[in-house]
Amino acid sequence: MNKRKLLFNALGSVMLLASCGGNVTSENREMDRFVSELMGKMTIEEKIGQLCQCSGGFATGPNNTKIDRTEDISKGLLGSMLNVSGAANTRKYQEAAMKSRLQIPLIFGLDVIHGFRTGFPLPLAEAASFDLDAIERSARCSAREAAAAGLHWTFAPMVDIGWDARWGRVMEGAGEDPYYGAKVAKARVHGLQGDDLSDESTIMACIKHFAGYGAPIAGKDYNSVDMSMGHFANFYMPPYKAGAEAGAATFMSAFNDFNNEPCTGSEFLLRYLLKDKWGFKGFVVSDWGSVGEMINHRYAADEKEAALKGITAGLDMEMVSECYSKNLKALVEEGKVDEKLVDDAVRRILEQKYKLGLFEDPFKYCNEEREKSVIGSKQSREDACYVAERSIVLLKNDKNILPLSKDVKRISLVGALAKSQKDMCGAWSCADVSKVVTLYDAMCERGYNVDYVEGYNLENNKIVDLNRTLSSARNSDVVIVAMGERAWQSGEMRSKGDISIAEEQQKLVSELVKTGKPVVVLMMCGRPVIFNEVRKNAPAILCTWWLSSEAGNAICNVLWGDYNPSGKLPMTFPQHNGQIPLNYQYKSTGRPTANGGWCAKYIDIPTEPAYPFGYGLSYTTFEYSDLKVNDSVNGDVYANVSVNVKNTGKYKGEEVVQLYVRDEVASVTRPIKELKGFEKISLEPGESKTVTFDITDEQLGFYNNNMDYVVEKGDFTFMVGTNSKDVQSIKYTLK
């Protein structure tokens, strides 16, 4: 073992003894007394039972243990179930748990990733809103509906930073930027957990996948992750840390290895960084089967060694694989595992059950009446439409084709996706598909004269009946094309080597443009996609992602200007697969691309993206002026940066004013710019507003190679603008 490992081990046991520290309030004291008393009665078998979670329904991974665990539950040998929902269903299992000797309630978890029965836009789509209140509102609604359906816990938010659009799970996160990802993580945790987990409308959050899962080599899901600690600290760590600071009740260990150790067995990640350095008091659940998968990693010889490595590392609850239930007792009896490690894990889990109020009333979330009134409510639908509108990104609007006039007579609606309820939901959906409003539904509901044509085959993307499609277009006032990838072409185990949109779909758009009619393209996707032919030929393009239950209404509200689109891309859109991973926070290198000549570039493809991070247009225009830096003397604010923004168009609109910072010279190589502030403002036509950003340690600091957060004196450049490329700059020196 290297020195550091020994240090962590020492830390581990020292930390265990001190683990009941922290802010000891009267509630904590009462909880501590209750949990200690309960643990004093528990047998080793009952303790280990609390560390085990099985799937009660469908599988979201391989090797599901299908056996009915009701008997184990009634013996107190199971602590949690996943993939069971519904007040009646969870009540049934909870009743079994109440037959056990100590009547310790089960907790039920489910992947409520973007809405429950009322579906919300994909998390990546919501991130495009750059509206933290809207994002929190979405999480709040998800929690409200999930809690009404007997759930206590969602395996969300997924906070993994994604630079690689080939990785299908970018759809679940908040994009490529760590500063923004950290803000979104906090908003989602608070939306889900509120201020009181015992409230019947809140559920436990789960920060996942710890850590670095978003950076699999070559964008291939589950692949190894290999990065320096300095790179991890600056570009991947912030959202996890923010989730812990936000008080997330749980974390989930990732499938991948990190620094040559499977995350699920990484003492550095789970015990040292998360529990000791960050003071995390919740519990860590493994990802599906990942304790047992340490054997596949060839990090454990068998399930017994996997159990030893998991519990030693600080992995508290094992999802689905059964290494703990089969081996932990023997490991304790053989003296290979200190029972204190088991006790620490049990305590963490029991404390969350206590905070949920389940010891007072194990059935408080199993109320079928509340389930009926909360799920699919008008409030939920309004929330979903509100957030969906704000997730749409306007990429192009030549000749101001948009917004459409409400007097438009004939619409040619092209594309099978315009009618696909299932595709609107995206991956990881819990939505009631039958209640999804498609684009076609919404247009008809608004009384528009819509001539729908399939345009392309949804299965193979081949053009269908081109003449019929072109004649529909020629007989219309405007052509609207719903196109893109399929909903389940992004998500888990959906990595792609080629993120291009089908050639035939793009060719169809070119043919439609040739008719001379105004063509509006709706790009539906769960990740950045490549569509260069459409990008060049189509006069108007909206990125509508997968918006779920209120998709049709939100898209129509934007098309007809009831809502002026305000979204900004949370991930860079490449123009060639060969550019990936591609993000805006690249480093200068010793031969900057900008210098030309002998520089960092390709000889066969461009280096510029199709659309940069933070990019998004509006139906109106904004002018930035009067950029200033004001040296400040107050406390921890070094200075502030102010800029005037004016709405110079004819529509009311919202603008996400973005602040980027460059540390000109530092003790480690730093990116050419980093997002360090944003503010979404609303301006009437002609109205202007001064936006001010405070410059503190948060804006100027970074992690050095010892993973210390430092701020160094010297020159900085502040950049303010409407996206990561179109910015105005000003110099600043920190003395």
Q: Among all residues, which ones are annotated catalytic?
A: 287
- CB closer to ligand GLC out of 52 and 82: 82
- CB closer to ligand GLC out of 170 and 645: 170
Distance CA 139, CA 155 (A): 12
CB of 278 to ligand GLC, least distance (A): 21
Residue with tokens 């009322």: 118
Query: What residues between 396 and 425 interact with ligand GLC by CB under 6 A?
Result: none
What percent of the residues of the chain are helix, what percent strand, and what percent coil, each to the nearest 5? 35, 20, 45
Q: Does 251 sit near ligand GLC (CB under 6 A)?
A: no
Q: Does 250 sit near ligand GLC (CB under 6 A)?
A: no
CB of 288 to ligand GLC, least distance (A): 4
- Cα-based distances in Å from 529 to 117, 314, 454, 617, 727: 28, 39, 22, 18, 25
- CB closer to ligand GLC out of 53 and 618: 53
- CB closer to ligand GLC out of 123 and 403: 123
Residue with tokens 């709040």: 140
| Phi, psi dihedrals of residue 671, rounded to the nearest 5° | -65, 160
First to last CA, the chain: 43
The residue within the footprint of ligand GLC, chosen from 120, 130, 153, 155 (CB under 6 A), is: 155
Give CA 325 to chain center in angstroms: 32
- Cα-based distances in Å from 435 to 134, 375, 381, 432: 22, 12, 10, 6
- CB closer to ligand GLC out of 185 and 691: 185
- CB closer to ligand GLC out of 239 and 565: 239
- CB closer to ligand GLC out of 64 and 704: 64
- CB closer to ligand GLC out of 176 and 293: 293
Number of residues that bind ligand GLC (CB under 6 A): 9
- CB closer to ligand GLC out of 155 and 563: 155
| Phi, psi dihedrals of residue 396, rounded to the nearest 5° | -160, 145
CB of 508 to ligand GLC, least distance (A): 35
DSSP structure string for 129-190: T--HHHHHHHHHHHHHHHHHTT--EE---B------TTSGGGGGS--S-HHHHHHHHHHHHH
CB of 56 to ligand GLC, least distance (A): 12
CB of 157 to ligand GLC, least distance (A): 11
CB of 224 to ligand GLC, least distance (A): 16
- Calculate helix-pair angle for 466-474, 503-514, nearest 10 degrees: 40
Q: Does 61 sit near ligand GLC (CB under 6 A)?
A: yes
Residues 6+ apart with CB under 8 A from 294: 262, 264, 265, 300, 305, 306, 309, 310
Query: What residues between 264 and 293 interact with ligand GLC by CB under 6 A?
Result: 287-288
Residues 6+ apart with CB under 8 A from 404: 478, 520, 559, 560, 561
334-340 contacts at long range (C-beta below 8 A, 24 or more positions apart):
336/308, 337/308, 337/311, 337/312, 338/13, 339/44, 340/13, 340/16
Distance CA 25, CA 13 (A): 24
Distance CA 616, CA 611 (A): 9
Q: Does 111 sit near ligand GLC (CB under 6 A)?
A: yes
**CB-CB contact of 188 with 245 (8 Å):** no
CB of 132 to ligand GLC, least distance (A): 23
- CB closer to ligand GLC out of 318 and 550: 318
- Cα-based distances in Å from 177 to 227, 241, 693: 17, 14, 18
Q: Is 407 helix (H, G, I), strand (E, B) or coil?
A: coil
Query: What residues between 478 and 497 interact with ligand GLC by CB under 6 A?
Result: 492
| Interaction mask 4-43, ligand GLC, x per CB under 6 A | ----------------------------------------
| Interaction mask 204-243, ligand GLC, x per CB under 6 A | ----x-----------------------------------
CB of 552 to ligand GLC, least distance (A): 28
| Interaction mask 172-211, ligand GLC, x per CB under 6 A | ------------------------------------x---
CB of 558 to ligand GLC, least distance (A): 31
Pairing of strands 540-543, 393-397: antiparallel
CB of 110 to ligand GLC, least distance (A): 8
Cite the DSSP H helix spans in 252-302.
267
Query: Which amino acid is residue 107, in one-letter code?
Result: I
CB of 60 to ligand GLC, least distance (A): 3
Give CA 710 to chain center in angstroms: 28
- CB closer to ligand GLC out of 42 and 320: 320
**Residue 683: beta bridge partners?**
653
Largest CA distance in the chain: 81
Query: What residues between 74 and 103 interact with ligand GLC by CB under 6 A?
Result: 82
Distance CA 291, CA 285 (A): 10
The residue within the footprint of ligand GLC, chosen from 46, 49, 54, 60 (CB under 6 A), is: 60
Residues that bind ligand GLC (CB under 6 A): 60-61, 82, 111, 155, 208, 287-288, 492
